[in-house]
């Protein structure tokens, strides 16, 4: 078939046949965020697929559900419209109540890394630890506004999400929340720089060493270690996955900045990235660049949710539900499966 003909005349039949056979033509088309965003802004709502069919997730009220947890190659971009005002108010009420959860549910600790960096941290344990059982470990990384040494300022709604009664009951885990004494990442340029990237600092390596220490001293399931963070912590989430492709079973960075040059190492870890398109602190295009980079890594699992008109914050609807915990816990990293990928 002449390449100038494909897409018209006989080419249309070929495209239609391929779409009927695999659904890939439509999936490739809808993976373009500009198309998805335009359809959403036009008022079109994605309908449920016919019973027994359909390959794209359904989005509708009252809000999005977690993306499919499928390893071995998934690149999906989702445009999320703002929730109805009453739903947003309800979600923000849950977030406010979460922030008020007692910090002393998390015990205090201090760790000195091999390079001498001292980290204060908080640790939430599962409510029950039956003999012979192992639990997941979740590493939660904070933003630059919580840098310090009081072991308290960083204890906001992001780590306390894991202390909500329903989350502790359904997703029992060890949750470690280090407080960085200095920046865990630096940036190569300002938010306006199109090529802005994140680079790791010593406190991030100290946090990774802390995870190794906890794995060695607590009954932790080594196949279920997860990382998530917001802002500077979101950027640290990307770089943690890059520095330790063997360690994390899945990662969820919120409003972060990555490094496209490290996509091959990050591709060993499934990532669900979340960002608001009204964010002026860490603008969306820098985290979106990671989606594009990982889309060029065969076998990588990369899901991106763009929240329309959301600023520099974790989406309240995700803080109020269980989607983040459910998606993370659906992933495992068997020993020896953390090799970096070759990207094109």
- List, for residues 277-303, the tens digit of each pLDDT value: 999 999 999 999 999 999 999 889 999
Q: Is the pLDDT of residue 264 over 60?
A: yes
Give 40's pLDDT tier (boundaries 50, 70, 90). low
Q: Is the pLDDT of residue 60 over 50?
A: no
CB 92 within 8 A of CB 316: yes
Is the residue at 78 inside a domain? yes
Total number of domains in the chain: 1
Region 61-84 average pLDDT? 71
Q: Is the pLDDT of residue 28 over 80?
A: no
pLDDT digits (tens, 9 = 90+) for 174-217: 999 999 999 999 999 888 888 899 999 999 999 999 999 999 99
Give 309's pLDDT tier (boundaries 50, 70, 90). very high
pLDDT digits (tens, 9 = 90+) for 221-251: 999 999 999 999 999 999 999 999 999 999 9
Region 133-144 average pLDDT? 98
Is the residue at 109 inside a domain? yes
Residues 6+ apart with CB under 8 A from 187: 196, 197, 198, 199, 235, 257
Question: What is the pLDDT at residue 161?
Answer: 98
Residues 6+ apart with CB under 8 A from 229: 140, 141, 142, 143, 158, 235, 236, 237, 253, 254, 256
What percentage of the chain has pLDDT greater than the value 90? 70
DSSP label at 120? E
Q: Is the pLDDT of residue 55 over 50?
A: no
Is the residue at 96 inside a domain? yes
Bridge partners for 112 per DSSP: 118
Is the residue at 335 inside a domain? no
Is the residue at 313 inside a domain? yes
Mean pLDDT (the chain, rounded): 87
Question: What is the pLDDT at residue 115?
Answer: 95
More confident residue, 273 or 73: 273
Give 336's pLDDT tier (boundaries 50, 70, 90). confident
Q: Is the pLDDT of residue 68 over 70?
A: no
Picking from 96-110, 188-202, 263-277, which range would have the lowest pLDDT averaged per residue? 188-202
CB 262 within 8 A of CB 224: no
CA distances from 168 to 36, 125, 223, 322 (A): 35, 9, 19, 11
Boundaries of domain holding 287: 74-329
Question: What is the pLDDT at residue 7?
Answer: 54
Is the residue at 216 inside a domain? yes
Q: Is the pLDDT of residue 61 over 60?
A: no
Is the residue at 29 inside a domain? no
CB 292 within 8 A of CB 343: no
Is the residue at 310 inside a domain? yes
Picking from 11-15, 18-22, 45-49, 54-58, which range would have the lowest pLDDT averaged per residue? 54-58
Question: What is the pLDDT at residue 65?
Answer: 59
Give the other-Cβ count within 10 Å of 215's Cβ: 16
More confident residue, 89 or 36: 89
- Domain CATH for 113: 3.40.50.1820
Region 119-127 average pLDDT? 98
More confident residue, 29 or 238: 238
CA distances from 54 to 17, 47, 65, 69 (A): 16, 10, 17, 16
């Amino acid at each position: 078939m002449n390449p100038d003909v494909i897409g018209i005349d006989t080419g249309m039949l070929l495209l239609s046949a391929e779409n009927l056979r695999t659904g890939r033509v439509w999936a490739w088309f809808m993976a373009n965020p500009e198309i998805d965003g335009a359809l959403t802004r036009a008022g079109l709502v994605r309908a449920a697929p016919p019973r027994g069919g359909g390959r794209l997730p359904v989005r509708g009220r009252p809000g999005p559900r977690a993306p499919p947890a499928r390893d071995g190659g998934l690149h999906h971009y989702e445009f999320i419209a703002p929730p109805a005002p009453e739903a947003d108010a309800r979600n923000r009420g849950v977030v406010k109540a979460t922030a008020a959860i007692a910090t002393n549910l998390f015990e205090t600790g201090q760790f000195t890394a091999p390079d001498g960096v001292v980290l204060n941290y908080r640790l939430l344990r599962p409510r029950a630890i039956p003999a012979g059982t192992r639990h997941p470990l979740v590493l939660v990384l904070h933003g630059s506004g919580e840098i310090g040494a009081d072991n308290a300022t960083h204890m906001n709604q992001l780590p306390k999400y894991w202390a909500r009664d329903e989350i502790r009951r359904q997703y029992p885990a060890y949750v470690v929340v280090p407080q960085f004494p200095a920046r865990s990442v630096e940036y190569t340029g300002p938010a306006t720089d199109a090529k802005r990237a994140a680079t790791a600092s010593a406190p991030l390596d100290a946090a990774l060493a802390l995870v190794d220490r906890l794995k060695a001293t607590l009954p932790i399931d080594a196949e279920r270690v997860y990382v998530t963070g917001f802002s500077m912590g979101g950027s640290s989430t990307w770089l943690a996955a890059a520095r330790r492709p063997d360690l994390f079973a899945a990662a969820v960075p919120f409003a972060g900045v990555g490094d496209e040059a490290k996509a091959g190492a990050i591709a060993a870890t499934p990532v669900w990235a979340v960002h608001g398109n009204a964010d002026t602190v860490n603008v969306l295009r820098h985290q979106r660049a990671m989606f594009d980079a990982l889309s060029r890594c065969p076998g990588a699992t990369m899901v991106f949710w763009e929240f329309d008109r959301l600023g520099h914050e974790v989406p309240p609807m995700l803080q109020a539900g269980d989607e983040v915990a459910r998606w993370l816990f659906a992933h495992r990293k068997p020993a020896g499966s953390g090799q970096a990928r070759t990207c094109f």
